[in-house]
């Protein structure tokens, strides 16, 4: 059956890195005779510039109709001063929420070839393979009331951190099931010593643990988790947490792998429809220079193959090709270390395509 992928390049380095992932998509489409159709649309600042809305109705319609979405990145200083609800980030947040993409999977895997690119000692990170499961459509990102109001002659900003039991169970189930097919360890991150919303989070996850006796469950306060991630990250297998803690911890985990330019992500709904995007932002400082690392986006495409298209074999082939180009010594600037060959965005993408094309069928 034909599958439909919507491509949303976005802003900043988004279009450059997505171009490389699209090259890889064409390569696997040909090699594996995949029946895939694609379309593209505007999102973020690019959509605001063209249509006055970071998520135009036409883009949302296309997103609803797709089986999966490949997303670049959004935002930039150009749009910092516009009305809050028109900012590029709001487009992405509305997309996540409108499509019910509540389960955000952010794997942090260290390729052995990049052990020296990490800011941590190689022995601390070598062999690292952790998965952060971040709740993506609730918590303080979406809680009401929110805003900035006048109070006693000054401005007061406020947000609401809120999770219902069903929301916690829904993301908990995803995390437990993923832990089950990985290292069978799940660490739930909270701040239950201070915040009631995470006290409930901890209680619900503890209760669910009874149904997953094969998974070893632990709980950790978020401040300690932030420390443990840089002290001894390999103690973790799967981490599950709310929207805000997950945002922060996943950036931290990214750095363990050498560069945030290496971290892919999947945001899934209950039926495995997904939006796939690199964890990094739009990097306006290097946009248009052809030096951005396309590997996180290419590996996001691999996740798309695995989760939304049920093609774990194709996903594996893409990941293997990435490992191969790293093995060849090719590096974009963000992961460059001495003795390697520094390449730009397009050359990196081309090398991955060449590795896929020349590999034996998976």
Q: Closest separation between CB of residue 33 and ligand IPM, Å?
A: 33
Q: Closest separation between CB of residue 340 and Mg ion, Å?
A: 28
Q: Closest separation between CB of residue 147 and Mg ion, Å?
A: 22
Is 32 tagged catalytic?
Answer: no
Residue whose C-alpha is closest to residue 264's, from 312, 309, 322:
322
**Interface stretch with Mg ion, choices 60-68, 163-171, 244-252, 337-345 (CB under 5 A):** 244-252
Of 53, 247, 273, 334, catalytic: 247
Q: Does 247 bind ligand IPM (CB under 6 A)?
A: yes
Q: Does 16 bind Mg ion (CB under 5 A)?
A: no
Q: How far apart are CA 162 and CA 176, in angstroms?
A: 22
Of 80, 116, 211, 223, catalytic: 223
Q: How far apart are CA 12 and CA 29, in angstroms?
A: 27
Sign of CA dihedral 356, 263, 143, 221: positive
Contacts for 183 with CB less than 8 Å, ≥ 6 apart: 129, 237, 238
Among Mg ion, ligand IPM, none, what does residue 317 contact (CB within 5–8 Å per kind)? none
**Sequence-ordered alpha helix ranges (H) in the chain:** 14-31, 45-51, 57-65, 88-98, 122-125, 165-180, 196-209, 222-231, 243-256, 295-307, 312-327, 345-358
Q: Does 11 bind ligand IPM (CB under 6 A)?
A: no
Of 251, 336, 342, 350, catalytic: 251
Tell me the C-alpha to C-alpha distance, in Å, between residue 194 and each of 157, 197, 225, 240, 349. 20, 9, 15, 18, 46
Residues 83-112 that bind ligand IPM (CB under 6 A): 89, 92-93
Nearest residue (CB) to ligand IPM, 92 versus 335: 92
Q: Does 266 bind ligand IPM (CB under 6 A)?
A: no
Residues 160-219 that bind ligand IPM (CB under 6 A): none
Three-state helix/strand/coil letters over 198-261: HHHHHHHHHHHHCCCCCCEEEEEEHHHHHHHHHHCHHHCCEEEECHHHHHHHHHHHHHHCCCHH
Q: Closest separation between CB of residue 13 and ligand IPM, Å?
A: 13
Q: State the DSSP code for 325.
A: H
Q: Does 247 bind Mg ion (CB under 5 A)?
A: yes
Q: Does 277 bind Mg ion (CB under 5 A)?
A: no
Place of tokens 């380095």: 13
105 phi and psi angles, rounded to 5 deg: -100, 120
Is 161 tagged catalytic?
Answer: no
Is 247 tagged catalytic?
Answer: yes
Q: Closest separation between CB of residue 251 and Mg ion, Å?
A: 6
Residue whose C-alpha is closest to residue 55's, from 12, 100, 18, 98:
98
**Interface stretch with Mg ion, choices 95-103, 246-254, 269-277, 352-360 (CB under 5 A):** 246-254
**Interface stretch with Mg ion, choices 8-16, 41-49, 227-235, 243-251 (CB under 5 A):** 243-251
Q: Does 135 bind Mg ion (CB under 5 A)?
A: no
Is 141 tagged catalytic?
Answer: yes
Contact of 152 with 185, CB cutoff 8 Å: no
3-state secondary structure of 322: helix
Of 141, 212, 276, 307, catalytic: 141
Nearest residue (CB) to ligand IPM, 3 versus 96: 96
Site size toward ligand IPM (CB under 6 A) is 5
| Residues designated as active site | 141, 191, 223, 247, 251
Residues making contact with ligand IPM (CB under 6 A): 89, 92-93, 247, 279
Residues making contact with Mg ion (CB under 5 A): 247
């Amino acid at each position: 059956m034909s599958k439909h992928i919507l491509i949303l390049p976005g802003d900043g380095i988004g279009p450059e890195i997505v171009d490389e992932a699209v090259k890889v998509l064409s390569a696997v489409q040909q090699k594996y005779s995949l029946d895939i159709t694609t379309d593209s649309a505007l999102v973020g600042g690019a959509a605001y510039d063209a249509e006055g809305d970071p998520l135009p109705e036409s883009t949302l319609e296309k997103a609803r109709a797709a089986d999966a979405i490949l997303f670049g990145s959004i935002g930039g200083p150009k749009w910092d001063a516009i009305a809050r609800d028109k900012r590029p980030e709001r487009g992405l947040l509305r997309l996540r929420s409108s499509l019910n993409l509540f389960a955000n999977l952010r794997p942090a895997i260290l390729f052995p070839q990049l052990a020296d690119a990490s800011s941590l000692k190689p022995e601390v990170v070598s062999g690292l393979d952790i998965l952060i499961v971040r709740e993506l459509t609730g918590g303080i990102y979406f809680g009401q009331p929110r805003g900035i109001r006048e109070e006693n002659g000054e401005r007061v900003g406020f947000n609401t951190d809120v999770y219902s039991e069903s929301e916690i169970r829904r993301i908990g189930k995803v995390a437990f099931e993923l832990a089950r097919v990985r290292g069978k360890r799940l660490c739930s991150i909270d701040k239950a010593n201070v915040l009631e919303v995470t006290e409930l989070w901890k209680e619900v996850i503890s209760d669910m643990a009874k149904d997953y006796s094969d998974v070893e469950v632990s709980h950790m306060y978020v401040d300690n988790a932030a420390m443990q991630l840089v002290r001894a990250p390999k103690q973790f297998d799967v981490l599950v947490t709310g929207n805000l803690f997950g945002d922060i911890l996943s950036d931290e985990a990214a750095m363990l792998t050498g560069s945030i330019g290496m971290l892919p992500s999947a945001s899934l709904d209950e039926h495995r429809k997904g939006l796939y995007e690199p964890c990094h932002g739009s990097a306006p400082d290097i946009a248009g220079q052809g030096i951005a690392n396309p590997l996180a986006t290419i590996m996001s495409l691999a996740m798309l193959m695995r989760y939304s298209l049920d093609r774990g074999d194709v996903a594996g082939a893409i990941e293997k090709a990435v490992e191969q180009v790293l093995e060849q010594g090719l590096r974009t600037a963000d992961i460059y270390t001495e003795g390697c060959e520094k390449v730009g965005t397009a050359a990196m993408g081309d090398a991955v395509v060449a590795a896929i094309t020349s590999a034996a069928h998976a």
